[in-house]
Amino acid sequence: MKGALIYLGLLALGVAYATWAAMDYVERHTGALTTTLEVLA
């Protein structure tokens, strides 16, 4: 059971990192993300 929790934790970290990396990439290349966040904020 502990192994499954560790696996799920690593999976969640991987998904979070991938999401952040994708957003960072889009922002660097288009600047669209920053604009969108400013509109929402």
Residue 21 lies in a domain: yes
Q: In angstroms, how far is CA 3 from the centroid of its own chain?
A: 24
Task: Compute the distance between CA of residue 39 and CA of residue 7 in angstroms, rounded to an integer.
Answer: 37
Residue 1 lies in a domain: no
Task: Compute the distance between CA of residue 7 and CA of residue 4 in angstroms, rounded to an integer.
Answer: 5
What was the pLDDT predicted at 3? 92
Query: Per-residue pLDDT tens for 9-39?
Result: 999 999 999 999 988 888 787 776 666 667 7
- Give how many domains the chain has, as a whole number: 1
With tokens 């502990």, the residue in question is 2
For 36, the domain range is 12-40
Task: Compute the distance between CA of residue 41 and CA of residue 29 in angstroms, rounded to an integer.
Answer: 21
The pTM assigned to this predicted structure is 0.57
